[in-house]
């Protein structure tokens, strides 16, 4: 599956891209996943991921890209008719350019083909941009996990548990 959207493409996240995904994960989380963790998650039955990148030679934010530039990825776990987003991250330099929205649309399309009826995710309560995107995409808050996201130099923050049916 390859989708062209403006200046970037969405491809299947495979173990071949684990190093890229691990580097991206470091840009969005203090407790980040390494290549092994990403490969382990992709190996779980029902798991899949999508990777967004700007291909070499394309324009992004007015600049010609010299080599493929990763922008973000999403990793999803499915069980029967239910799915959960294990993680989604968009590199800081690519935020507010539609990458997260396109990744989520890719997830929705994939889940529709699998007849999933419920999608869950967790998001830090201080991530206003992500919460706004999820609400725009039809997610609603169904719970909260106290102190779920630990921070190195700051207090832990709660996670909102959100659902889209």
140 and 126 Cβ atoms separated by less than 8 Å:
no
* pLDDT averaged over every residue in the chain: 90
The owner of tokens 């493409």 is 9
Q: CATH top-level class for 2-116?
A: alpha beta
Residue 81 burial (10 A CB sphere; 0-12, 13-18, 19+): exposed
- The pLDDT tens digits for 18-42 are 999 999 999 888 888 999 999 999 9
Pairing relation of β-strands 118-124 and 82-90? parallel
- The pLDDT tens digits for 87-135 are 999 998 888 889 999 999 999 999 988 878 899 999 999 999 999 999 9
Residues 6+ apart with CB under 8 A from 18: 35, 36, 38, 39, 42
Query: CA torsion, points 51, 145, 31, 80, in degrees to nearest 10?
Result: -40
User: For residue 103, what are the β-bridge partners?
Assistant: none
Give pLDDT, residue 165: 81
Residues 6+ apart with CB under 8 A from 46: 77, 78, 79
Residue 97: closest CA among 64, 52, 56, 139: 52
DSSP 96: T
Question: And the tokens for 17?
Answer: 């891209």
CA pseudo-torsion sign 61, 131, 119, 164? negative
pTM: 0.88
The owner of tokens 């309560």 is 125
Spans of all domains in the chain: 2-116, 120-165
């Amino acid at each position: 599956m390859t989708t062209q959207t403006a200046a970037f493409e969405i491809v299947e996240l495979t173990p071949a891209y684990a190093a890229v995904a691990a580097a991206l994960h470091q840009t969005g989380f203090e407790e980040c996943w390494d290549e092994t963790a990403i490969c382990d998650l992709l190996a779980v039955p029902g798991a899949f991921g999508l990777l967004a990148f700007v291909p070499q030679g394309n324009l992004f934010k007015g600049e010609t890209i010299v080599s493929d530039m990763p922008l973000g990825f999403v990793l999803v776990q499915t069980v029967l008719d239910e799915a959960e987003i294990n993680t989604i991250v968009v590199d800081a330099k690519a935020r507010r350019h539609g990458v997260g929205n396109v990744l989520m649309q890719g997830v929705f399309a994939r889940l529709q083909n699998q007849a999933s009826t419920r999608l869950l995710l967790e998001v830090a309560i201080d991530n206003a941009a992500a919460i706004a995107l999820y609400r725009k995409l039809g997610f609603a808050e169904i719970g909260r996990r106290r102190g779920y996201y630990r921070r190195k130099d700051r207090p832990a923050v709660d996670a909102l548990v959100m659902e889209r049916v």
